[in-house]
């Protein structure tokens, strides 16, 4: 009892839920790789994960969200951004935050490879790709807006700040989709640097 409790602060119930969530995700990604996203029914995923179809929808609101809900970049990005000195201009802070984020991701060696595979899936399924812009922001969008607003002196909910958030998300959506079409060992840092450079150099009056 005590031994089990000290190992994990979560009760059996919570641990089971995490296991189920993971089982569904793993089964889904395996089947997507084998037969493609559209050809894989939710019933089939649920069966492969040994749960009922009802349970699938209790864990994921839609089949697309199973792919999109994982790791919305805006959350971690806004945290890294908030950690940068306040006097860095927006694009410099963004570049440094991205470097820090990639660096942190390298601590888990499989993380980049999994992210890359996920992006390949997203890029190859139109219905998911279309919703990537919104999904990238996710619930972390407000935090991203605040992080950018502190560097521009605008209000976090102003048109100007929202425009900035939209532009940054739109830019990195392209960067990520581009990544999915490159050699698997392409360095993400280079890609992000080129993206920030493009925003800084080519978006001029």
Cα–Cα distance, 35 to 26 (Å, whole number): 14
Distance of CA 185 to the CA centre of its chain: 19
Directed axis angle between helix 109-124 and helix 90-105, to 10°? Answer: 110
Task: Compare residues 52 and 158 and give the one whose CB is closer to DNA.
Answer: 52
Residues 115-134 that bind a second copy (CB under 8 A): 129-131, 133-134
Candidates 74, 180, 75; CA nearest to 125 is 180
Q: Which of DNA, a second copy, none has residue 204 at its interface (CB below 5 to 8 Å by kind)?
A: a second copy
**Distance between CA atoms of 41 and 187, rounded to whole angstroms?**
34
**Which position among 30, 48, 64, 105 is part of the footprint of DNA (CB under 7 A)?**
64
Pick between residue 42 and residue 191 the one whose CB is nearest to DNA: 42
User: Under a CB-based contact definition with an 8 Å cutoff, are residues 46 and 53 in contact?
Assistant: yes
Among 96, 124, 152, 189, which residue sits at the site for a second copy (rule: CB under 8 A)?
152
Do residues 57 and 16 make contact, with C-beta atoms less than 8 angstroms apart? Answer: no
Decide: is 185 part of the binding site for a second copy (CB under 8 A): no
Task: Give the C-alpha separation, 98 to 76, whole Å.
Answer: 9
- 134 belongs to the binding site for DNA (CB under 7 A): no
22 near DNA, judged by CB under 7 A: no
Position among 51, 123, 142, 191 found at the interface with a second copy (CB under 8 A): 191
Which of residues 35, 50, 158, 182 is near DNA by CB under 7 A?
Answer: 50
Residue 31 CB, shortest distance to a second copy, in Å, is 24
CA quadruple 143, 149, 150, 151: dihedral positive or negative? positive
Four-point Cα dihedral 203, 164, 86, 135, nearest 10 = -120
Total residues contacting a second copy by CB under 8 A comes to: 45
CB of 50 to a second copy, least distance (A): 30
Which residues of the chain form contacts with DNA (CB under 7 A)? 11-14, 16-17, 20, 40-43, 50-55, 57-59, 61-64
Which residues of the chain form contacts with a second copy (CB under 8 A)? 89-92, 129-131, 133-135, 148, 152, 154, 159-175, 177-178, 191, 194-205
């Amino acid at each position: 009892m005590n031994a089990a409790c000290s190992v994990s602060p979560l009760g059996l119930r919570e641990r089971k839920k995490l296991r189920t969530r993971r089982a569904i995700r793993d089964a889904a990604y395996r089947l997507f790789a084998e037969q493609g996203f559209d050809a894989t029914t939710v019933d089939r995923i649920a069966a492969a994960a040994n749960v009922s179809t009802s349970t699938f929808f209790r864990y994921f609101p839609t089949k697309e969200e199973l792919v999109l809900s994982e790791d919305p970049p805006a959350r971690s990005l806004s945290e890294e951004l908030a950690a940068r000195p306040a006097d860095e201009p927006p694009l410099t802070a963004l570049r440094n935050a991205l470097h820090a984020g990639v660096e942190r991701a390298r601590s888990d060696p499989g993380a980049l490879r999994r992210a890359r595979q996920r992006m390949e899936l997203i890029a190859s399924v139109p219905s998911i790709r279309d919703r990537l812009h919104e999904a990238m922001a996710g619930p972390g969008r407000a935090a991203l807006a605040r992080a950018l607003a502190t560097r521009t002196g605008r209000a976090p909910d102003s048109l100007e700040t929202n425009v900035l958030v939209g532009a940054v998300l739109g830019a990195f959506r392209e960067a990520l989709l581009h990544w999915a079409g490159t050699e698997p060992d392409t360095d993400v840092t280079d890609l992000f640097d080129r993206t920030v450079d493009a925003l800084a150099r080519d978006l001029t009056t």
